[in-house]
Amino acid sequence: MTETFYEVLRRQGITRRSFLKFCSLTATSLGLGSAFAPKIAHALETKPRTPVLWLHGLECTCCSESFIRSAHPLTKDVVLSMLSLDYDDTLMAAAGHQAEAILEEVKAKYKGNYILAVEGNPPLNEDGMFCIQSGRPFVEKLKETAKDAKAIISWGSCASWGCVQAAKPNPTRATPVHKVIFDKPIIKVPGCPPIAEVMTAVVTYMLTFERLPELDRQGRPKMFYGQRIHDKCYRRPHFDAGQFVEQWDDDQARMGYCLYKMGCKGPTTYNACSTVRWNDGVSFPIQSGHGCIGCSEDGFWDKGSFYDRVTDIQQFGVESNADTVGATAAGVVGASIAAHAAVTALARARQKTGIDTPKGED
């Protein structure tokens, strides 16, 4: 029998005390309450490791970069041990045919019982020729590996939505995972990149409880994507007060006012940045003085400027937002009515003065 998570940890010199601390921390970050800490500990002590295969499609590796910087050192150890990176072509020691052999081995040995994590997405144009791995299109490798997987994790905005390579005009037809694989449960962990602690917590949850965390309407784990950046933003009181940064270098910017007018996408972005934050909880974009760009939202590259609040609407041309289109329409209507009223008045005046008016064609 394969060893348990706990055995792996002990072998790596982690004390039981640290292990239990990790269990409490994970229970808390998953929003489960203290009663769940022993359950997590029990699961990690008794359950055999579930292998995780980590594939890379069209991507920039920012998800991996984020993941290996998970702030809590034990989290990193645990999860990296959990994954054991049975296959991760960026991080694994093996290469070439040796690496591909591991992939085959895990697929055969743990059929229907491994988790597939996908970073990046497959391009579909030209039969998938824009992303070749092991001598064949990535989309084929993805489909083959997904076939026997228990569940799929879509890491980052690439795998979840398409991200920059799928932005208009999307020359390679980069396609998110859920539009290629239809028969497996898919959990989306969007962000460019996602927060490290979010990634590790999602993996821990799935391995511990052997089920998907509760997902929202769009397939994201509710525990981290259930609220907007705006809902938990520490600058929110300035928003409610009506205190905004008007220009990047003004006094309001120095006083840390709300960045809403500078195009902050916090009110439409679901992520945990304003609570979990980044780099061991040091900061997050808004705290650093820049609005949220909404990187964990679908199609965020194609939704107009990062610096406008009322953003451009694609359907009405390159630089038209709701106000341009709407105010123009209202102006045209207003002007037409003024003209119409003038003509009406003129027609009536002429009738009253007895001047002959041309006969209407009924």
Partner 1 sequence: MLAEQDQFEAERSARMVKAVYVYEAPLRLWHWVNALAITVLAVTGYFIGLPLPSVPGEASEQFLMGYIRFAHFAAAYIFAIGFIGRIYWAIVGNHHARQIFILPVWNAKWWGEVFYELRWYLFLVKEPKKYVGHNPLAQLMMFLFFTIGAVYMICTGFALYGEGLGEGSWASQMFGWVISAVGGNSLQVHSWHRLGMWVTVSFVIVHVYAAIREDIMSRQSLISTMISGWRMFKD
Beta strands in 20-124 (DSSP E): 52-56, 87-88, 114-119
309 touches partner 1 (CB under 8 A): yes
Site string for partner 1, 132-161 (x = CB under 8 A): -----------------------------x
| Using rule CB under 8 A, residue 330 touches partner 1 | yes
Of 83 and 258, CB closest to partner 1: 258
343 binds partner 1 (CB under 8 A): yes
Of 29-37, 87-95, 116-124, 332-340, which part binds partner 1 (CB under 8 A)? 332-340
Site string for partner 1, 198-237 (x = CB under 8 A): ------------------xxx---x---xxx--x-----x
Q: Contact between 164 and partner 1 (CB under 8 A)?
A: no
Kindly tell me which residue out of 170, 268, 275, 287 binds partner 1, with binding defined by CB under 8 A: 268
Q: Which lies closer to partner 1 via its Cβ, residue 282 or residue 333? A: 333
Q: How many CB atoms lie within 10 A of CB 192?
A: 23
Q: How many residues bind partner 1 (CB under 8 A)?
A: 56
- Identify which of residues 141 and 265 has a Cβ nearer to partner 1 in the complex: 265
- The yes or no reply on residue 347 touching partner 1 (CB under 8 A) is yes
- Residue 170 contacts partner 1 per CB under 8 A: no
Nearest to 184, CA basis, from 142, 149, 133: 149
Q: Decide whether 141 or 303 has the Cβ nearer to partner 1.
A: 303
Q: Does 33 bind partner 1 (CB under 8 A)?
A: no
From the list 52, 119, 108, the residue with the least C-alpha distance to 80 is 52
Nearer to partner 1, 282 or 310 (CB): 310
The CA distances from residue 310 to 225, 228, 262, 324, 351, in Å, are: 24, 18, 10, 10, 49
Q: Check residue 337 for interaction with partner 1 (CB under 8 A).
A: yes
In angstroms, rounded to a whole number, what is the distance separating the alpha carbons of residues 229 and 286? 9
Task: Give the DSSP letter string of 304-345.
Answer: S-TT-SS-B-GGG-TT-BHHHHHHHHHHHHHHHHHHHHHHHH
| Sequence-ordered alpha helix ranges (H) in 118-170 | 138-147, 156-160
| Residue placing its CB nearer to partner 1 in the complex, 137 or 266 | 266
Tokens of 274: 């304003």
State how far the Cα of 134 lies from the Cα of 132, in Å rounded to an integer: 7
Binding-site member from 101, 282, 310, 349 for partner 1 (CB under 8 A): 310
Residue with tokens 């120095």: 254
Q: Is the dihedral of CA 73, 77, 82, 87 positive or negative?
A: positive
Check residue 342 for interaction with partner 1 (CB under 8 A).
no
Shortest distance in whole angstroms from residue 44 CB to partner 1: 29
Q: Which sign, positive or negative, has the C-alpha torsion 315, 321, 322, 323?
A: negative
d(CA 74, CA 201): 12
Contact in structure between 262 and 298 (CB atoms under 8 Å) = no
User: Which residues make Cβ contacts (< 8 Å) with residue 203, sequence separation at least 6?
Assistant: 52, 79, 82, 83, 115, 117, 153
State yes or no: residue 252 binds partner 1 (CB under 8 A). Answer: yes
CB-based contact 67:14 (threshold 8 Å): no
Q: Quick one: 93 or 249, whose CB is closer to partner 1?
A: 249
* C-alpha triplet 114, 117, 121: angle, nearest 5°: 140
Given candidates 136, 179, 211, 340, which one binds partner 1 under the rule CB under 8 A?
340
Piece in contact with partner 1 (CB under 8 A), picked from 12-20, 90-98, 271-279, 306-314:
306-314
Work out whether 287 is an interface residue with partner 1 (CB under 8 A).
no
Interface contacts to partner 1, rule CB under 8 A: 161, 216-218, 222, 226-228, 231, 237-244, 246, 252, 257, 260-261, 265, 267-268, 294, 297-300, 303, 309-311, 313, 321-323, 325-327, 329-330, 333-334, 337, 340-341, 343-344, 347-348, 359-362
